[in-house]
Amino acid sequence: MIRLLLFLTLGYMAVTAQAADVPPSMIDQLVRSAWQEHSVEPAPLCSDELFLRRLTLDLFGRIPTLEERQDFLAQPDRAATIDRLLAGEEFSRAWADLWTTQLYGYADDSIDRDMLTQWLEEQLRSRTPYDRIAQQLVSSTGQSAFDGPVNFLLRYPEEPVVKVSRAFLGVRLDCARCHDHPFDRWTQDDFKRMNRFFEGMERQEVSSGNVRLVDVVREVEPADRPRFLTGAEPQTTQWRAEFGLFMTRSRPFARNFANRIWYHLLGRGIIHPVDDVSRDNHASLPAVLEWLADEAGRSQFDIRHMFRLICNSRAYQVQSIATHGDAERLRLFAVRSIKPLTPEQWHASMSVAMGRESKPEERMEFVRTFYGDALDGDFSSSWEYRETVQGLMSRLVETVDPPTSKTEDLFLRILGREPTSEERIFCQGRNAREVCFVLLHSSEFAFNH
Amino acid sequence: MQLNATRRQFVRGSLGGLFALALQHDAQHLFSGQTAKTTKRCVVLWMGGGPSQMETFDPKPGTTTGGPTTSIKTAVPGIEIASNLPEIAKRMDGLSIIRSLSSPEGDHDRGQHFLHTGYPFVQAFPRPTLGAIVSHENPRSDFPLFVSIGARGLGPAYMGPDHAPFAVENPAEAVELITGLRKQRGSLRLLDGFSSTFDREHLDTGLERRRASLQKVERMLTTPFVKALDVAKASESDRARYGESDFGQRCLLARRLLESGVKFVEVTHDGWDTHDDNFNSVARLCSEIDGPWSALLDDLKASGMWDDTVVVWMGEFGRTPQINGNTGRDHFPNVTPVVLGGGGLQGGIVVGQTNETGLQIAEGAVTVPDLFATLLAALSIDPQHEFRTEFGAIALASDHGKPITALL
């Protein structure tokens, strides 16, 4: 009798030990307590096939292939797949492209966007920490045709501090350019003195298509010296280098790093909008943000580490099904926000679905048509839906050659899932060309959900 | 997806336009208000490159700066313009010349921005082009109210992407697009049905906007706008009067679009940046615009649209009275030529004047904000109207300009 009881007790302990073997991550604990605090019920986890689609789009900028989908469904180890994709070549490429668009936009000036992308890709591939990347973007000298990072500041000859603050500190100084900021504590003096760090920059034409960026030492009155928003002033004549140090060591920098990666993966920043951190714009999950900012410091700004943490979290993996009335749940990440595919992602995904190669020139033409005259805009918020009606029209008119004629195959290739019974009926009797058209231009394909 | 190898890109824009189109998710709701008011129509003939006032509307024959350009009498006694524009001269009674407009912007992009928005370019504060304002101040429609012909057009800034210009770089391609889309109508309806479940089950402003855009495309296909785009269907006499040149076709298209309900059309004519061989070039350019512009004025008057349509002719700046070493004229924003007419504006007058050589403004100096205030007022838009940008700033329609009373 005692032996039976002992056996049962040990068995019970073994079972509970196994369940407790995987403790919830710190993010999950913090998010969960926020949900409890706000009495908000989280959505269930998304399906495996949807998870793979999200992850591949987020990390590789395209939908998964049929083979990748089959392999994953055979053994749906989400954590292992996250690791595998983060280690992949495509990750560095996709993210270098996305960051270039955020930092540089699409403007066609006489400086070298491609050099910037290539440089970013190298840094990502060699696992350069994010603070070092930021430091270089802000303080590099060199020639636009050879030194990728200088192309960032060369792109913004007027008041570079505006773009730099938004991109790396999440602070919008724009208004303070002309008068004391109406909504936040920055004054026009703050703006001037922060911008002064960049006033030593000089552009020199080396040849057509190649510009050199150098720093020239300037003499200024003590009252006009550069001053960082924290009040720190440079000790040397290397103003931009010191600015880089002040910036990367500041708390807003760490917070911005965490918040931006969160925004990219979840479609909504913990502080949202991401480049408008201010007195009136509060974090929806402050404890999570602070912990992530601490973690950024602890991991020495390891980019993949931050990605791994967030992709593994419950908040990343919940479903996105929402109705009116779910606004608060969306704000607290109890329901996943959806994100439109960028035109680059759409083109790459369409190519995967159709079994075609995604040629760079075709992709670029597609991007230009998609955006129309919004091409000159600011792209630091990647998930704004910016397609013009004209871009949409040009897309809708293109003829489509379906890669297969079976409805089920088309669904698997394009949407990554099987058709429901209603959808089977809907497609019955329609030719493959039409089904293909409908699936490719559907909301479901056009969004990362 | 097969991309037809011979299909040129539908929207191939001119470079330039340094805007930041900053959007927040909620901007849509701020600016999607239905307006019961309407504005007058407007057609802008944009002379890209900076047209020489010395060879068009402010010639100085017999002076040290006048060059070989001669002047001719016009339909208005006392007003003479360059002999390069004989047909326009006959219609001078409907048009007024501003000879004393001065601008500080001598750079093409900055000048273009200034003359399109009434504000100097500031990267941190994007401003909408006049067409976007007009589009915004009219009731919603199923077809674009702002069309740019011959160039991509400048952006709508805080007016929102719904008021971006519909760009027709090439009228023939526009027709191809519409015909192609008409063939897809069945598929478009299917698409709407298919996506409705997903659309219902997700909450996102981008998703809503995309759905609205798709529906707009579908509805657009049956509007008169689409028929108007098909310039090839124009009558023989129309095509004869406007001519088969690019600019001629564009002006004819502009008239057809205005007739179909479009409120603001901008027609671009490039090539006016005559640093070299100014006199021959401008003579040629003028011969290209003289006929079509006149035909447009005649048609607007004949169809009864004249009093409701403001016509503007301008470029980003004027050109130097001094002739350079290449028989050319360089940028001279100090004197920027503008010609206006229609829409209830006073015709047949000259606003201000330059001195004998054209190097200085002798009297009646006005600024670009003043011009804008005048245009807005003529179009029935209050120049003091306060718009709100998505980042909460107040943006006046006009940059404290004073309307030119002689014209209103």
Task: Tell me the per-residue pLDDT of B358-380, one tens digit each, with 9 for 90 and over.
Answer: 999 999 999 999 999 999 999 99
The tokens of A38 are what? 């706000």
Q: Are A60 and A207 in the same domain?
A: no
**A328 CB near a chain B CB, below 8 Å?**
no
- Domain boundary at A330, A349, A366, which? A330
B interface test, pick of A281, A389, A433 with most B CB neighbours within 10 Å: A389
A387 and B195 within 8 Å at the Cβ level: the answer is no
Domains with residue ranges and CATH for chain B: 37-170+235-407 (3.40.720.10)
Q: Are A378 and A407 in the same domain?
A: yes
CB-CB neighbors (< 8 A) of A183 in chain B: 392
Is A283 within a domain?
yes
Nearest CA in chain B to A366: B9
Measured in angstroms, the CA of B107 and the nearest CA of chain A are apart by 15
For the stretch A205-222, pLDDT in tens is 888 889 999 999 888 888
Kindly report the length of chain A: 449
**Run of H or E residues at A391:** helix A389-396
Interface of B with A in 96-125 (CB under 8 A): 122-125
**A369 CB near a chain B CB, below 8 Å?**
yes
Predicted ipTM > 0.85:
yes
Q: Are A94 and A205 in the same domain?
A: yes
**What is the DSSP code string of B331-351?**
EETTS--EEEEETT---S-EE
pLDDT, residue B4, reads 38
Q: Are A171 and A198 in the same domain?
A: yes
Contacts of A192 (CB under 8 A, 6+ apart): A224
The tokens of A394 are what? 């040009």
The tokens of A277 are what? 């951190």
**Terminus-to-terminus CA distance in chain A, angstroms?**
55
Q: Are A116 and A239 in the same domain?
A: yes
A437 and B184 within 8 Å at the Cβ level: the answer is yes
For the stretch A128-176, pLDDT in tens is 999 999 999 999 999 999 999 999 999 888 889 989 999 999 888 877 7
- Domain boundary at A281, A311, A330, which? A330
CB-CB neighbors (< 8 A) of B204 in chain A: 337-338, 447
Mean pLDDT of chain A: 89
B interface test, pick of A367, A390, A401 with most B CB neighbours within 10 Å: A390
Are B292 and B242 in contact by the 8 Å Cβ rule? The answer is yes
For the stretch A274-328, pLDDT in tens is 888 777 788 999 999 999 999 999 999 999 999 999 999 999 999 999 988 899 9
Please give the angle made by the CA atoms of A445, A68 and A304, to the nearest 5 degrees.
Answer: 85
Is A9 within a domain?
no
Q: Are A281 and A406 in the same domain?
A: no
Measured in angstroms, the CA of A366 and the nearest CA of chain B are apart by 9
**A357 CB near a chain B CB, below 8 Å?**
no
Interface of A with B in 144-163 (CB under 8 A): 156, 158-159, 162
- Domain boundary at A184, A213, A248, which? A248
Question: Which one of A172, A330, A434 has the shortest CB-CB distance to B190?
Answer: A434
For B110-125, letters b (16+ CB in 10 Å) and e give bbbbbbbbbbbbbbbb
pLDDT, residue A17, reads 44
Q: Between residues A235 and B393, which one has the greater pLDDT?
A: A235
CB-CB neighbors (< 8 A) of A356 in chain B: 1
If pLDDT is split at 50, 70 and 90, which confidence band does A109 have? low
Measured in angstroms, the CA of A247 and the nearest CA of chain B are apart by 21
Range of the domain at A144: 90-248
Q: Are A426 and A322 in the same domain?
A: no
Interface of B with A in 287-326 (CB under 8 A): none
Q: How many A-B residue pairs are in contact by the CB < 8 A criterion?
A: 185
Is A5 within a domain?
no
Q: Are A203 and A65 in the same domain?
A: no
Q: Are A133 and A171 in the same domain?
A: yes
Based on the structure, what is the number of domains in chain A? 3
Q: pTM of the entire structure? A: 0.83
Query: Torsion angle, CA of A345/A346/A351/A354, rounded to 10 degrees?
Result: 140
**B394 CB near a chain A CB, below 8 Å?**
no
pLDDT, residue B13, reads 32
Is A30 within a domain?
yes
B interface test, pick of A366, A392, A443 with most B CB neighbours within 10 Å: A443
Nearest CA in chain A to B221: A393
For the stretch A65-85, pLDDT in tens is 999 999 999 999 999 999 999
**Run of H or E residues at B264:** strand B264-270
**A77 CB near a chain B CB, below 8 Å?**
no
The sign one gets for the Cα dihedral B60, B61, B65, B69 is: positive
pLDDT, residue A12, reads 53
Is A298 within a domain?
yes
A389 and B211 within 8 Å at the Cβ level: the answer is no
Q: Are A395 and A271 in the same domain?
A: no
Is A7 within a domain?
no
Identity of the amino acid at B271 = G
Q: Are A44 and A102 in the same domain?
A: no
For the stretch A341-375, pLDDT in tens is 999 999 999 999 999 988 889 999 899 888 877 77
Nearest partner of B151 among B169, B132, B137, judged by Cα: B169
Is A200 within a domain?
yes
- Rounded distance between C-alpha atoms, residue B265 and residue A46, angstroms: 49
Beta-bridged to residue B82, according to DSSP, are: B71
**B194 CB near a chain A CB, below 8 Å?**
yes
pLDDT, residue A329, reads 94
Within 10 angstroms of residue B140's Cβ, the number of other Cβ atoms is 12
pLDDT, residue A394, reads 87
Is A10 within a domain?
no
Interface of A with B in 105-124 (CB under 8 A): 107-108
Nearest partner of B167 among B276, B253, B295, B290, judged by Cα: B253
If pLDDT is split at 50, 70 and 90, which confidence band does A42 have? very high
The sign one gets for the Cα dihedral B7, B11, B15, B20 is: negative
Residue that has been written with the tokens 């077809």 in this structure = B143
pLDDT (tens place) for every residue of chain B, 408 residues total: 333 333 333 333 332 323 333 333 333 334 445 456 889 999 999 999 999 999 999 999 999 999 999 999 999 999 999 999 999 999 999 999 999 999 999 999 999 999 999 999 887 788 999 999 999 999 988 899 999 999 888 888 888 878 889 989 887 888 888 888 888 888 999 999 999 999 999 999 999 999 999 999 999 988 999 889 988 889 999 999 999 899 999 999 999 999 999 999 999 999 999 999 999 999 999 999 999 999 999 999 999 999 999 999 999 999 999 999 999 999 999 999 999 999 999 999 999 999 999 999 999 999 999 999 999 999 999 999 988 877 677 888 899 999 999 999
- Rounded distance between C-alpha atoms, residue A419 and residue A440, angstroms: 14
Measured in angstroms, the CA of B200 and the nearest CA of chain A are apart by 7
Q: Are A181 and A293 in the same domain?
A: no
**B63 CB near a chain A CB, below 8 Å?**
no
pLDDT, residue A10, reads 58
For A82-106, letters b (16+ CB in 10 Å) and e give beebbeeeebbbbbbbbbbbbbbbb
A373 and B217 within 8 Å at the Cβ level: the answer is no
CB-CB neighbors (< 8 A) of B217 in chain A: 389, 392-393, 396
Measured in angstroms, the CA of B176 and the nearest CA of chain A are apart by 9
Measured in angstroms, the CA of A402 and the nearest CA of chain B are apart by 8
A426 and B193 within 8 Å at the Cβ level: the answer is yes
- Rounded distance between C-alpha atoms, residue B86 and residue A31, angstroms: 76
pLDDT, residue B291, reads 96
